[in-house]
């Protein structure tokens, strides 16, 4: 997929002419034109966005979406790190042939490395869906989540498929860097949470950080069961219906240049279950959810991937969640977020111990 230079950098560039052109190009409008657009501006951690309300000429035909969501991103984070173009390819290349992909519809997207910018123009589903922040997980939700992941992962499962899109296979140096990125957070974790951590957890954190890079490098030697992963399926990036349990959408696939992007699909399971779920809920549901994921993979054409291998892969990825969680403390802590961060760290360490993570290191 080639990236064009027509990246939207400000809301002033979102004209009725531009919207008409992109909606025509995406076959969302076959006749007519956009007559007016109103923008409600907002922003995320790394982006500017706008909720757009459109009105059309009377002769307009097609889907003609009344509400759209525009996300505009500066990929240069200012500290030598960059966002990859993955969010554009996520919507406009990777799964366009997957009819039941758990993605919101994308009407336009562009990435420009020279300008360090990209944008995506998405369907606005806020009337029917909400982020999963307040959802209390149950087995049905877990199975729907597992199905969504399996659909995406099966598309690019295995070396041959990944090579066909020049996917990145991470070497030992990159994997070491990924783990080490969180090391600065260890001291702050041990200091700020010293009265809340179990007595043996400080040593366990150090042990995981020290042993994990070599274990990951060993895993990378055989990428036969690797796939494209989402990488950050947190509660805010999982959209669930206000009524019912389907469809579920996975949004905001936006890795940093140090992130892991091609890896074991179990990473995305471990990320959500291991970092965000209460221990009692996770322990009671995770095996059934993993098995449902495994069955769905097989139904989607994945072969030579045994249940026992998936379980071991999941345990390895649970171990990887410890550095992922500790990394949030690299900024020295934030009183407004420390309780949330401690929960992530304690969830990851508890899951590691519950699953006998030492056996996998």
The CATH number for 319's domain is: 3.90.1200.10
70 and 115 inside one domain = yes
Sequence-distant (6+) residues with CB within 8 A of 37 are 14, 15, 16, 19, 52, 53, 54, 55
**Helix, strand or coil for residue 259?**
coil
165 and 285 inside one domain = yes
Q: How far apart are CA 11 and CA 297, in angstroms?
A: 41
**Cβ burial 146-167 (10 Å sphere, 16+ → b, else e):** bbbbbbbbbbbbbeeebeeeeb
Chain centroid to CA 70 = 18
Q: How far apart are CA 215 and CA 209, in angstroms?
A: 11
Q: How far apart are CA 78 and CA 180, in angstroms?
A: 20
77 and 188 inside one domain = no
CATH number at residue 44: 3.30.200.20
* pLDDT by 10s per residue, the chain, length 361: 334 458 999 999 999 999 999 999 999 999 999 999 999 998 777 779 999 999 999 999 999 999 999 999 988 877 777 888 999 999 999 999 999 999 999 999 999 988 889 999 999 999 999 999 999 999 999 999 999 999 999 999 999 999 999 999 999 999 999 999 999 999 999 999 999 999 999 999 999 999 999 999 999 999 999 999 999 999 999 999 999 999 999 999 989 899 999 999 999 999 999 999 999 999 999 999 999 999 999 999 999 999 999 999 999 999 999 999 999 999 999 999 999 999 999 999 999 999 999 999 9
Burial class of residue 330 in the structure, from the number of CB atoms within 10 Å of its CB (0-12 exposed, 13-18 middle, 19+ buried): middle
State the DSSP H helix or E strand holding residue 343, giving kind and residue range, or none if neither. helix 338-354
The answer to whether 237 and 103 have CB atoms below 8 angstroms apart is no
227 and 292 inside one domain = yes
| The pLDDT of residue 282 | 98
88 and 109 inside one domain = yes
Total number of domains constituting the chain: 2
249 and 305 inside one domain = yes
153 and 279 inside one domain = yes
The percent of the chain in helix, strand and coil, each rounded to the nearest 5, is 45, 15, 35
Tally of CB atoms within 10 A around 61: 10
Q: Is residue 216 part of a domain?
A: yes
Burial class of residue 230 in the structure, from the number of CB atoms within 10 Å of its CB (0-12 exposed, 13-18 middle, 19+ buried): buried
> What does each C-alpha distance from 38 to 15, 43, 59, 64, 166 come to in angstroms?
10, 16, 20, 15, 39
324 and 213 inside one domain = yes
- Domain containing 288 equals 131-359
The answer to whether 77 and 92 have CB atoms below 8 angstroms apart is no
Looking at 100, 123, 146, the residue that finishes a domain is 123
């Amino acid at each position: 997929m080639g990236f064009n230079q027509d990246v939207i950098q400000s809301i002033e560039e979102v004209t009725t002419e531009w919207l008409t052109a992109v909606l025509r190009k995406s076959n969302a409008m076959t006749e007519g034109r956009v007559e007016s657009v109103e923008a409600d501006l907002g922003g995320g951690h790394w982006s500017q966005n706008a909720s757009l309300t459109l009105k059309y000429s009377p002769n307009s035909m097609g889907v003609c979406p009344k509400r759209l969501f525009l996300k505009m991103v500066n990929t240069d984070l200012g500290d030598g790190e960059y966002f990859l173009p993955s969010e554009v390819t996520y919507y406009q290349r990777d799964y366009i042939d997957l009819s039941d992909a758990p993605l919101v519809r994308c009407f336009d997207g562009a990435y420009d490395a020279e300008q360090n910018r990209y944008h995506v123009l998405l369907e606005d589903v806020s009337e029917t869906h909400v982020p999963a922040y307040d959802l209390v997980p149950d087995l049905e939700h877990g199975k729907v989540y597992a199905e969504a992941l399996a659909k995406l992962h099966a598309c690019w499962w295995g070396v041959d498929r990944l090579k066909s899109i020049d996917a990145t296979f991470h070497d030992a140096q990159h994997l070491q860097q990924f783990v080490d990125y969180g090391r600065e957070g260890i001291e702050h974790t041990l200091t700020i949470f010293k009265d809340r951590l179990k007595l043996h957890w400080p040593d366990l954190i150090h042990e995981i950080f020290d042993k994990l890079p070599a274990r990951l490098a060993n895993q990378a030697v055989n990428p036969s069961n690797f796939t494209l992963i989402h990488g950050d399926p947190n509660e805010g990036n999982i959209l669930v219906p206000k009524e019912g349990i389907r469809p579920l959408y996975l949004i905001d696939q936006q890795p940093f240049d140090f992130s892991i992007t091609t890896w074991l699909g179990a990473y995305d399971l471990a990320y959500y279950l291991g970092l965000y779920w209460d221990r009692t809920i996770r322990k009671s549901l995770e095996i059934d959810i993993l098995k449902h994921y495994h069955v769905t993979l097989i139904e989607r054409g994945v072969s030579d991937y045994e249940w026992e291998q998936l379980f071991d892969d999941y345990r390895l990825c649970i171990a990887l969640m410890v550095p992922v969680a500790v990394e949030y403390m690299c900024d020295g802590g934030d009183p407004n977020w420390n309780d949330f961060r401690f929960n992530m760290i304690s969830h990851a360490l508890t899951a590691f111990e519950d699953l006998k993570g030492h056996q996998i290191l």
